[in-house]
């Protein structure tokens, strides 16, 4: 996985999928997180970004996903679980093949549980979604391509907002 520890901080190369269906977007979080994010994960060395998204969805959910066009590139700096991160994120349109329903479901990230939920795109400002640009970007119809930079965010200090 492309995650490098440099001078007490971590650099991450992350790929995420944007699945929007019936006005809802698929987000996930761990039970202990106080924010939601798009599903995806870290790219492996010599792996194309679209392949990363498909692999991560298969590993985390058992579902087959197809990566479409790249929507956004994001540069994020944040503190998470006591670690400082510098993250480059690629965000792709994503279709989930043979989606059984839009009900909540559980997935896994290694040994950790992931909670998946389809959130109404119009309600994203009432929950904590990270990176912060997502609530505005996902509300645009049609979705607009772009490059986003986020200032330093302390995810450890963000208060819990119910889902």
Mean pLDDT of the chain: 91
The pLDDT of residue 138: 95
Q: What is the pLDDT of residues 92-129, one digit of tens each?
A: 999 999 898 999 999 999 888 999 999 999 999 999 99
Buried b (16+ CB within 10 A) or exposed e, 31-47: eebbbbbbbbbebeeee
Looking at domain 3-145, its CATH architecture is: Alpha-Beta Complex (3.90)
pTM of the model: 0.90
Is pLDDT at 10 greater than 80 in this prediction? yes
Domain ranges across the chain:
3-145
């Amino acid at each position: 996985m492309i995650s490098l520890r440099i001078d007490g901080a971590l650099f991450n190369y992350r790929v995420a999928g944007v699945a929007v269906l019936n006005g809802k977007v698929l987000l996930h979080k761990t039970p202990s997180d106080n924010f939601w994010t798009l599903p995806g994960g870290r790219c492996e060395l010599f792996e194309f970004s679209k392949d990363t998204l498909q692999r991560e969805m298969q590993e985390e959910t058992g579902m087959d996903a197809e990566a479409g066009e790249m929507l956004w590139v994001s540069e994020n700096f944040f503190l998470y679980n006591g670690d400082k991160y510098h993250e480059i994120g690629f965000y792709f349109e994503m279709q989930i093949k043979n989606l059984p329903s839009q009900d909540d479901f559980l997935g896994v990230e290694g040994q950790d549980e992931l909670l998946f939920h389809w959130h109404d795109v119009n309600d994203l400002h009432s929950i904590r979604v990270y990176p912060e640009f997502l609530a505005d970007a996902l509300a645009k119809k049609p979705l607009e391509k772009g490059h986003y930079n986020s200032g330093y965010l302390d995810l450890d200090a963000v208060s819990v907002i119910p889902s």
